Structure 1
């Protein structure tokens, strides 16, 4: 009996050592942050000069205690309890529930909803290759489009709302779904929402990383951040609680092809910010890359946890401001002021690099490659808030999401080129020398007179030729 009790005690103690937690260092210096970033610690959240949160094992906690005044803010058991309680209250949705709800919404609102399978996951690829371990991870990535004439690709501005890139951030899915339901339930009765649906292409991707989302929702590893890439080719999912990371997975928000593989991303497969073997190596990021190429997006939000922040490009290096900085930051400030903070006040807006520099992220790619006003909203004050908090956070984020949607149809230069005789559309290129040649648009708060050339391709019989139609002088106020 004593041996059995001793074995049980040893086993229980080893499990406790294996469990991770979030610890907080108050008032960290920039040097302190850089130290932990360079050591590839799992950084949960950071607010410069206020706090630094790290995901650590018990062993790491014991070491940190010797050098820092730290306190535990989240435990593994707390996160699991929050997930279990949420199941009783219909929060947090799993993959199957999200897909079923999207299918139901498409049936309920057929005139303005269309569901698309936009890509696959690592789990699906491995499963179809015959690796049976991944059969339960045979996930697609789904997107719901909302617009009038939803079957058509109309000449309208697009906007996206993206759920979790990172596995341990399931609250992101709930915010995307809440935004979606708010629009659908108010279409036809709210004049602004109705006009925006009728004049925009609105896309919702509730889960960008379905494999990782399942890992967390099923409590296989509630701290998991990455996807399921099989880095060591053993056809299994490997997570190492003692190191806190595991051999498998890629941080899909370090895998985009804009300033890829530099600061804030790791070459080590074990690290939580492992950037992958090359840009867009992951089917999840390749899916979003193609998604952006196929649609005319002008703005979008990707939701994460946590920190109560609204971030905007650039993030790849300190001091990097977007050419549209005045416009993109003003809009970010407006959105942040609309989101109530947990303990009063509102969310904090800032350039992504002001939080910390990182490379290979979606916002830098979306803006740098496509000119999309792409924002990250860091929700709440912990990775997986209790179910009682979920509804409050999701409702608090509606106004900011609707504000961005409303702005998509304002402060833009639009128009159509048509044949004078037939009235039919003519394929044309709008060329602005001051912008295309000289980048002379760094400060949009100052009125700027620019020359616009419109060049169209025309057919006369069997001959196709190019003609410069007109010059226009415009004053642009953004």
Structure 2
């Protein structure tokens, strides 16, 4: 990590008051406001999410969202307590700080741009050629490669060993997850031969890592050296808007259950059809390709997101634990492994739908289609507004290392 000045992360409301003079008592609402919506249970939170707002996080009986004044008014009309807490544009400007064009905003250069990420992966594969190989699952909408790294004691050979997949950066603004996948790559290559735990897993597993499932969106999110608060990919829609929410575009139960939006401009737009986003098609096709001799070789998976400090498991499309595609014994295994991982990192465990209903997400697809033990990790911080997606780069080391034990628990249970 390069030497740099520490850019302090300030609270959104305080920053707005000091930097822009904004206050909740302002006469005019911002075009895109930060709101706190009281919603104590999953049913209420699902109703909030279905309204088309951008859900940032859930904490303390409330949902933090980005919404337009019209969306906020519509929620109030439905009986929700809706409090305006900030202006998105002002919050992003405050968090971005000085510009560092073609890189992260000044002070956050410890995060990897797309080109820096690719260079890091190439270096790992070159320096550890016997145990690491670098390839691609395909190209993004704008033509960027989506690299994948394989780590195993005989990386060039498809051995009869349990395979484990780690995926990151589904949503563009969740840059800490790219760093999480890079840590996994570096830990299991640099530590081989010297770290007994690492060596044991590399010798008995095939570890796959996709550090960025949304390279176009991630690059756009830091365009001009300022944070954009962008979530989706960069694929144009028929109505002139841009972007599909990749984590609502997977084929299993796509659009089934009110857990995504059919409106292209919505933050949870599910796409024109299942797997209509090339990034999702690439991931699905690659996972499908790991069915060898009629048996899926991947046995376990984590998809890393930010933020809220949660460990979540399927299903997201239903509140039921025992249902089509999930037996009582299978759910108990998810709960057992998920709870143990959460105990190791201090996150909160639970079924995905305990927050609110989602459909077309990668975890439901991995389990519903391939019976892969698949989890969603929502990383640091535990709560926040739009700034929660942009922790200072000083947090990269401690917050990625925080998940080492959880990664090891998953690898152990992949056998």
| Pairwise TM-score range, normalised by the shorter structure | 0.7 to 0.9
Matches within 5 A, 1:66-105: 68=81, 70=83, 72=85, 75-81=91-97, 88=107, 90-105=109-124
What are the Cα deviations for residues 129-171 of structure 1, in whole angstroms up to 9, with x where unaligned? xxxxxxxxxx110001101110111111111111111111111
* Partner of residue 9, structure 1: none
- How has the CA–CA distance of structure 1 residues 312 and 82 changed in structure 2, closer, same or farther, with 3 Å as cutoff? farther
- How has the CA–CA distance of structure 1 residues 71 and 267 changed in structure 2, closer, same or farther, with 3 Å as cutoff? closer
What are the Cα deviations for residues 201-244 of structure 1, in whole angstroms up to 9, with x where unaligned? 101111001001111122576221111111138xxxx6xxxxxx
Aligned partners of 1:369 and 1:69: how far apart in 2? Answer: 39
Aligned partners of 2:314 and 2:365: how far apart in 1? Answer: 9
* Partner of residue 162, structure 1: 167
In the superposition, the TM-score normalised over structure 2's length comes to 0.80
- How has the CA–CA distance of structure 1 residues 19 and 183 changed in structure 2, closer, same or farther, with 3 Å as cutoff? farther
Matching of residue 377 in structure 1 with residue 388 in structure 2: no
- How has the CA–CA distance of structure 1 residues 33 and 182 changed in structure 2, closer, same or farther, with 3 Å as cutoff? same
What are the Cα deviations for residues 416-450 of structure 1, in whole angstroms up to 9, with x where unaligned? xxxxxxxxxxxxxxxxxxxxxxxxxxxxxxxxxxx
Deviation at 1:408, TM superposition (A): 1.8
Equivalent position to 1:197, from 172, 196, 202: 202
Contact 2:96/2:226 (8 A) holds in 1: no
Q: Which moved more, 1:217-226 or 1:152-161?
A: 217-226
Aligned partners of 1:54 and 1:361: how far apart in 2? Answer: 20
* Partner of residue 110, structure 1: 129
Contact 2:96/2:227 (8 A) holds in 1: no
Aligned partners of 1:82 and 1:256: how far apart in 2? Answer: 38
Matches within 5 A, 1:175-214: 175-214=180-219
User: Which one scores higher on RCO, CA 8 angstroms, separation ≥ 6?
Assistant: 2
Contact 1:86/1:387 (8 A) holds in 2: no
- How has the CA–CA distance of structure 1 residues 261 and 220 changed in structure 2, closer, same or farther, with 3 Å as cutoff? farther
- How has the CA–CA distance of structure 1 residues 265 and 27 changed in structure 2, closer, same or farther, with 3 Å as cutoff? closer
Matches within 5 A, 1:325-404: 325-339=331-345, 346-381=346-381, 382-404=388-410
What are the Cα deviations for residues 106-129 of structure 1, in whole angstroms up to 9, with x where unaligned? 1111111100021111112xxxxx
Secondary structure of the residue aligned to 1:77 is helix
* Partner of residue 430, structure 1: none
Matches within 5 A, 1:421-440: none
Aligned partners of 1:149 and 1:391: how far apart in 2? Answer: 29
What are the Cα deviations for residues 316-337 of structure 1, in whole angstroms up to 9, with x where unaligned? 1111443211111100000011
In the superposition, the TM-score normalised over structure 1's length comes to 0.70
- How has the CA–CA distance of structure 1 residues 192 and 395 changed in structure 2, closer, same or farther, with 3 Å as cutoff? closer
Matching of residue 51 in structure 1 with residue 62 in structure 2: yes
Equivalent position to 2:249, from 224, 248, 255: 255
Deviation at 1:71, TM superposition (A): 5.7
Aligned partners of 1:169 and 1:98: how far apart in 2? Answer: 14
Matching of residue 286 in structure 1 with residue 285 in structure 2: no
Q: Which moved more, 1:348-357 or 1:58-67?
A: 58-67
Deviation at 1:33, TM superposition (A): 2.3
Deviation at 1:20, TM superposition (A): 3.9
Aligned partners of 1:192 and 1:103: how far apart in 2? Answer: 24
* Partner of residue 468, structure 1: none
Aligned partners of 1:45 and 1:61: how far apart in 2? Answer: 16
Larger Rg: 1
Secondary structure of the residue aligned to 2:389 is coil
What are the Cα deviations for residues 361-417 of structure 1, in whole angstroms up to 9, with x where unaligned? 0001101111100100001132121223232211211211122112223xxxxxxxx
* Partner of residue 25, structure 1: 37
Query: How many residues get paired?
Result: 362
Contact 1:79/1:222 (8 A) holds in 2: no
Secondary structure of the residue aligned to 2:377 is strand
* Partner of residue 443, structure 1: none
Deviation at 1:40, TM superposition (A): 1.2
- How has the CA–CA distance of structure 1 residues 62 and 261 changed in structure 2, closer, same or farther, with 3 Å as cutoff? closer
What are the Cα deviations for residues 76-120 of structure 1, in whole angstroms up to 9, with x where unaligned? 224423996765454221100000111111111111110002111
**Tell me, which stretches of 5 or more residues in structure 1 are unaligned?**
1-15, 125-138, 239-246, 340-345, 410-478
Deviation at 1:22, TM superposition (A): 3.4
Aligned partners of 2:275 and 2:127: how far apart in 1? Answer: 36
Deviation at 1:60, TM superposition (A): 5.9
* Partner of residue 314, structure 2: 313
* Partner of residue 12, structure 2: none
Equivalent position to 1:228, from 234, 241, 257: 234
* Partner of residue 3, structure 2: none
* Partner of residue 149, structure 1: 154
Contact 1:83/1:217 (8 A) holds in 2: no
